[in-house]
Structure 1
Amino acid sequence: MNKLDDKDIRAVLRKMVSAYKNARVFDEYTTYSGKSRADLVAINGHVNAFEIKSDYDSLNRLENQVREYDLNFERNCIVAGEKYIEEVSKIVPDHWGIIMARRNRENKVSLNYKRVAKLNPNLDFVSFTGLLESSKLRKIILDNNFYAKAGLNRDAVNGMFKYDLIAYLDSKLSKYQKSTLKGVIRAKLKEE
């Protein structure tokens, strides 16, 4: 078996996700907690995160990475070399996508879906909202009147720490309002 490293897989994966309609692609995207970093994130209609496990990697951190990705990203997918494809399929949840990376007959890297990612049922409003930097989050909340919907005034929004502001919004906004806010945040993340 011809082993693949991260660089081999990342180049082909980047090309593939860049072809998504209206996608913006980012490398090494840090989660809100700072405990994990997605290898690649593609933002189009959703925030799609990709974790690469090359034939030279270890799976030691994968369970923790799964937990972090599930808190932060709307769709998650693991891209693994043939060496790990069976093992990762036992570790990642059913809503995660699985892509196998291998060399084809022409010695080029090919990516084949084993399972397509579904919407993440474990997405955490606080973690997702926290992906946006403080100043941009405040601007969205003020410009789109979310502060009034949560019972705050403009000065209160500007005076709160980011985490406190997000936690307050989480406790006060309706499910529909949170969904609307996530859509605005997604669009802003795509601009960065």
Structure 2
Amino acid sequence: MKMSILDPGIRDLLFDYLAEKHEKFRFMEEVVIGSSRADVVIVLENELIGCEIKSDADSYARLASQTKNYDKYFDRNMVVVGTSHRAGVREHVPPHWGIFCAAQGGGIELVREAGINKKVKLKNQLSLLWRAELGDIQRLNSMPKYYDKSRRFVIPKILEKAEPETLRRQICAELIERDYTV
């Protein structure tokens, strides 16, 4: 009898895989992105990677709308599936999405490398930051502080002032260093 792998098992395998591949990274779970929720966001020093998990018990019912939301927020995207979805998942995700397969008993196999997502918007990535983190980015870019202004006001100001590649690295740095104790 073939054993199914469920979401918690896939997450454990994914986190072990990331620890082997990257020296410095952070992951965030269940992040709201538009009308969807990203299962895992992987934060590297210069990019954000969205990760949708489809366990052997999951269906593709919401995947079309989820991929659209992921593409608005992340530099690369990938889906990590249980073995029952290995053969069919490529029909349900865009060609630039990476595909990984998690196997019961351990290990994650790269099925397709993730390509660069050309639909990502820095505005959406900035919206993942807390107001204090936006303040750090304002300071790094020699901007006025706008202490009494909202995130909605500050984000366009940052986009006007900061160079895109510098801003991408700053967003990643803020998310890697995020302090959840405050």
Q: TM-score, normalised by structure 2?
A: 0.86
Structure number with higher relative contact order (C-alpha < 8 Å, ≥ 6 residues apart): 2
- 1:73–1:120 contact (8 Å) kept in structure 2: yes
Aligned residues: 176
Structure in which a larger fraction of residues adopt helix: 1
Q: 1:131-150 to 2 correspondence within 5 Å?
A: 131-145=128-142, 147=143
1:90 alignment partner AA: E
- 1:80–1:100 contact (8 Å) kept in structure 2: yes
1:143 alignment partner AA: L
2:165 alignment partner AA: S
Runs of 4+ in 1 over 3 A off after TM superposition: none
1:40 alignment partner AA: V
Q: Is 1:120 aligned with 2:117?
A: yes
2:106 equivalent in structure 1 = 109
SS at match of 2:107: strand
Task: Quote how far apart the aligned CAs of 1:112 are.
Answer: 1.0
C-alpha change, 1:32 and 1:161, in structure 2 (3 Å) is farther
**Cα distance in 2 between the residues matched to 1:10 and 1:139:** 31
**Cα distance in 2 between the residues matched to 1:158 and 1:136:** 12
- 2:38–2:51 contact (8 Å) kept in structure 1: yes
Q: Is 1:179 aligned with 2:165?
A: yes
2:31 equivalent in structure 1 = 30
What do residues 90-123 of structure 1 show as CA deviations (whole Å, max 9, x unaligned)?
12111110011223xxxx1331111011222111
C-alpha change, 1:135 and 1:27, in structure 2 (3 Å) is closer
- 1:14–1:40 contact (8 Å) kept in structure 2: no
**Cα distance in 1 between the residues matched to 2:100 and 2:91:** 14
SS at match of 2:87: helix
C-alpha change, 1:122 and 1:82, in structure 2 (3 Å) is same
* Structure of larger gyration radius: 1
1:150 equivalent in structure 2 = none
SS at match of 1:109: coil
Q: TM-score, normalised by structure 1?
A: 0.82
- 1:32–1:72 contact (8 Å) kept in structure 2: yes
Q: Is 1:39 aligned with 2:39?
A: yes
